[in-house]
């Protein structure tokens, strides 16, 4: 993926690059404009506090803190849980391992030990195998297990409660902390019908992004015990994440909880529809035949074209699908892409490969 300045995008783009492409709706903008605000660093922003209290309740935790990004939610959680020289157990395709600029080592001073997994979901036995002997003085200290709900690079796979409990049993037995990267937790909740509180119960810390499927411009909310959030606040200041009149952003979050949560089911139906269309095109293989939520990965090696060439060809038709590897495309549905848009994307893909 290139990070040079991108070319101008077509107007009325059907943008399946990511669910981060959502734009605040008119209703959300109105709520933002009317937000009551104050100095967030001093705890004087009433709207941010309202959002934090609401999310803490939703996730069944004592407290929560609003942060500017999901990456900062993860990085602060890792920094609070770990000390320099500690080890984190996670899958190699997790966001904390594959992305975030090696923040686990750069910020928390910890290294990541990866475990065998299926779509990013791993077992308690895999955690058990990855544990270091605490009496061995040369070894890193096993400290934290990180579960990503849903698994972005696992095609939006959802951890079941049984899978979570299996991992948690081993983590707790060995006094390891447990963190959930819940960037797309709302998708997991809507897809499974399991409450956010039940999904987060065994985790010491958890968060979800406001700026993905929920459609906000900025922010994530990290939750945990009062002690954990107190420490998180130290890191928030340290990293420059403490804000001022953040109520404008928090108002978008409150609006999203009321208006954009349950509708995620539509995104999941649209992703399944797109997967059916794309999977029917000659040369394209669905990397994950089951579409759990809103993410579809396509292996294009059977087409004789590179993922980038196909991505460029659909872009010329007003559709953006990201090239995530030489032969890998990723399409992510969200509230700014309708059923008609998804079907047009399927047709554009088919046409790009027929040309
Ligand atoms: C699973 C996961 N975790 C963390 C993040 C980071 O979130 P943000 O972009 O808000 O920093 C992302 C972003 O795509 C993600 O997919």
Question: From the alpha carbon of 72, which atom of ligand 1 is closest?
Answer: 11
The pLDDT of residue 9 is 82
**pLDDT for the residue numbered 8:** 80
Q: Which residues line ligand 1 (CB under 6 A)?
A: 69-71, 74, 95, 148, 152, 181, 183, 209, 211, 220
CA of 139 to the centre of ligand 1 (A): 30
Q: pLDDT tens digits for the chain (355 residues)?
A: 556 777 788 779 999 999 999 999 999 999 999 999 999 999 999 999 999 999 999 999 999 999 999 999 999 999 999 999 999 999 999 999 999 999 999 999 999 999 999 999 999 999 999 999 999 999 999 999 999 999 999 999 999 999 999 999 999 999 999 999 999 999 999 999 999 999 999 999 999 999 999 999 999 999 999 999 999 999 999 999 999 999 999 999 999 999 999 999 999 999 999 999 999 999 999 999 999 999 999 999 999 999 999 999 999 999 999 999 999 999 999 999 999 999 999 999 999 999 7
The pLDDT of residue 2: 54
Closest CA to 106 of 82, 89, 127: 82
In this structure, what token pair is assigned to residue 106? 């750069």
Q: Which atom of ligand 1 is nearest to the CA of 219?
A: 10
Report whether 336 contacts 21 (CB < 8 A). Answer: yes
Residue 69 CA, ligand 1 centroid: distance in Å: 8
Cα–ligand 1 centroid distance for 183 (angstroms): 6
Phi, psi of 142 (to 5 degrees): -65, 125
Domains of the chain are 26-259 (3.40.640.10), 263-354 (3.90.1150.10)
Residue 190 host element (H or E):
helix 185-192
Q: Which protein residue has the closest C-alpha to ligand 1 atom 10?
A: 70
pLDDT at 3: 64
- Does residue 346 sit in helix, strand or coil? helix
Quote the pTM value.
Answer: 0.96
* The predicted structure's pLDDT at residue 350: 97
Which residues touch 346 (CB under 8 Å, ≥6 apart)?
A: 273, 274, 277, 278
Q: Is 21 exposed, middle or buried (0-12, 13-18, 19+ CB in 10 A)?
A: middle
Q: How far apart are CA 81 and CA 204, in angstroms?
A: 9
Q: Which of 21, 90, 209, 216 has the most ligand 1 atoms within 8 A of CB, as the residue to mutate?
A: 209
Q: How many angstroms separate the alpha carbon of residue 152 from the centre of ligand 1?
A: 9
Q: Residue 318: which region, alpha, beta or left (left: phi > 0; alpha: psi -120 to 50)? A: left
Q: How far is the CA of 208 from the centre of ligand 1 (A)?
A: 9
Check: CB of residue 186 under 8 Å from CB of residue 193: no
CA of 101 to the centre of ligand 1 (A): 12
Which of 90, 99, 148, 207 to mutate to test ligand 1, by most ligand atoms within 8 A of the CB atom?
Answer: 99
- Percentages helix, strand, coil for the chain (3-state, rounded to 5) are 45, 15, 40
| pLDDT confidence of residue 56 | 98
Question: What is the spatial distance between Cα 73 and Cα 54, in angstroms, rounded to a whole number?
Answer: 17
- Identify the residue whose C-alpha is closest to ligand 1 atom 7: 70
CA of residue 351 to ligand 1 center, whole Å? 32
Q: Which of 69, 70, 149 to mutate to test the pocket of ligand 1 (most atoms within 8 A of CB)?
A: 70
Find the 334 Cα to ligand 1 centroid distance in Å: 15
Give nearest CA residue, ligand 1 atom 16: 152
């Amino acid at each position: 993926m290139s990070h040079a300045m991108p070319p101008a995008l077509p107007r009325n783009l059907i943008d399946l690059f990511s669910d981060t492409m959502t734009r605040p709706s008119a209703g959300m903008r109105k709520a933002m404009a009317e937000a009551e605000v104050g100095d967030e660093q001093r705890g004087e922003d009433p709207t941010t506090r309202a959002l934090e209290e609401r999310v803490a309740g939703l996730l069944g935790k004592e407290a929560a803190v609003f942060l500017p990004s999901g990456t900062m939610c993860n990085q602060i959680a890792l920094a609070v849980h770990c000390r320099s020289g500690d080890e984190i157990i996670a899958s190699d395709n997790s966001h904390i391992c594959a992305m975030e600029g090696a923040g686990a080592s750069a910020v928390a001073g910890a290294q990541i030990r990866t475990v065998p997994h299926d779509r990013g979901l791993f077992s308690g036995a895999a955690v058990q195998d990855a544990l270091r002997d605490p009496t061995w003085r040369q070894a890193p200290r096993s400290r934290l297990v990180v579960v990503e709900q849903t698994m972005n690079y696992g095609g939006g796979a959802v951890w079941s409660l049984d899978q979570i409990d299996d991992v948690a049993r081993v983590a707790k037995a060995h006094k390891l902390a447990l963190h959930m990267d819940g960037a797309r937790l709302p998708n997991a909740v809507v897809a499974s019908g399991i409450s956010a509180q039940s999904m987060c119960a065994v985790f010491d810390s958890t968060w979800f992004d406001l700026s993905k499927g929920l459609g906000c411009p900025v922010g994530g909310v990290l939750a945990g015990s009062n002690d954990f959030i107190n420490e998180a606040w130290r890191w928030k200041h340290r990293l420059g994440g403490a804000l001022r009149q953040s109520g404008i952003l928090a108002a978008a979050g409150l609006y999203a909880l009321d208006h954009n949560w349950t509708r995620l089911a539509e995104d999941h139906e649209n992703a399944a529809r797109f997967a059916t269309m794309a999977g029917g095109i000659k040369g394209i293989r669905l990397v994950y035949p089951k579409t759990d939520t809103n993410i579809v990965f396509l292996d294009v090696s059977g087409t004789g074209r590179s993922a980038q060439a196909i991505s460029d060809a659909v872009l010329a038709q007003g559709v953006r699908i990201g090239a995530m590897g030489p032969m890998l495309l990723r399409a992510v549905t969200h509230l700014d892409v309708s059923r008609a848009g998804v079907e047009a994307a399927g047709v554009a893909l088919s046409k790009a490969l027929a040309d």
